[in-house]
């Protein structure tokens, strides 16, 4: 009989299901949990159920929130004439960190990917279209620069253009601080295409 502890194996398994977590990391995490003081382990468990039960989508932009509207959609200092379309809430966090954007967002919760069975109906496309009235001037496509993100941006721009709204896409180019030597050809040719007078 090999060594095994049912509840430990189950905990390791739960951690292993998470994205980017392998067997070894899951064991390390389980060990960490076992060494937590009782009340901290309970707080950890509570954080999981709490987040799950309290968080839902903002009624305007579909971003995650505990309220009816998220903190951005309910902030009067925001510029409601601009909507930045992103794939998920982490992209919102990333753009907010730049402190360069004061418009609103629209969170698609994914990208169109026929291979994975994700079509426009699985995303919050309807809610985005419903937001386009006379007040919206620009929709910025900030989906990922991947095949899926690209396809999604193209698809949405075709829907949005006839509505008379300006649709823009994030610029492609070499990442700041990176070494040209390591830039892939596609990125580099996009950077050349998009070159600007200085």
Q: Which is nearer to a second copy, 54 or 158 (CB)?
A: 54
Q: Which is nearer to a second copy, 18 or 147 (CB)?
A: 18
Q: Closest separation between CB of residue 21 and a second copy, Å?
A: 8
Handedness of CA 5, 8, 13, 14 (dihedral sign): positive
Q: Which is nearer to a second copy, 73 or 156 (CB)?
A: 73
Gap between the Cα atoms of 153 and 145, Å rounded: 10
* Contacts for 70 with CB less than 8 Å, ≥ 6 apart: 58, 60, 61, 63, 64
Q: Closest separation between CB of residue 111 and a second copy, Å?
A: 14
Q: Closest separation between CB of residue 25 and a second copy, Å?
A: 6
Q: Closest separation between CB of residue 105 and a second copy, Å?
A: 8
Gap between the Cα atoms of 59 and 81, Å rounded: 17
* 168, containing H or E segment: strand 166-169
Q: Which is nearer to a second copy, 21 or 191 (CB)?
A: 21
Instruction: List interacting residues with a second copy (CB under 8 A).
Output: 1-8, 10-11, 13-14, 17-21, 25, 27-34, 36, 38, 41-55, 63-66, 70-72, 75, 77, 88-90, 92-93, 96
* 105, containing H or E segment: strand 103-107
Interhelix angle 6-16/23-34, rounded to 10 degrees, is 120
């Amino acid at each position: 009989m090999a060594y095994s502890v049912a509840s430990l194996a189950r905990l390791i398994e739960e951690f292993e299901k998470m994205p980017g977590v392998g067997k070894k990391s899951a064991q390390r995490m389980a060990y960490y949990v076992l060494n937590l003081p009782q009340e901290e382990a309970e707080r950890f468990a509570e954080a999981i159920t709490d987040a799950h039960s309290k968080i839902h989508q903002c009624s305007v932009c579909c971003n995650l929130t505990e309220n009816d509207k998220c903190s951005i959609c309910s902030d009067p200092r925001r510029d409601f004439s601009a909507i930045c379309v992103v794939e998920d809430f982490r992209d919102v966090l990333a753009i907010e960190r730049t402190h360069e954007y004061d418009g609103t967002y629209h969170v698609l919760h994914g990208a169109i990917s026929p291979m994975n069975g994700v079509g426009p109906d699985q995303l919050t496309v309807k809610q985005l279209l419903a937001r386009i009235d006379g007040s919206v001037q620009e929709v910025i496509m900030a989906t990922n620069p991947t095949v899926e993100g690209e396809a999604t941006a193209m698809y949405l721009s075709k829907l949005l253009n006839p509505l008379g709204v300006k649709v823009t896409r994030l610029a492609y180019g070499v990442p700041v601080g990176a070494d040209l030597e390591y830039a892939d050809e596609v990125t580099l040719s996009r950077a050349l295409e998009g070159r600007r007078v200085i």
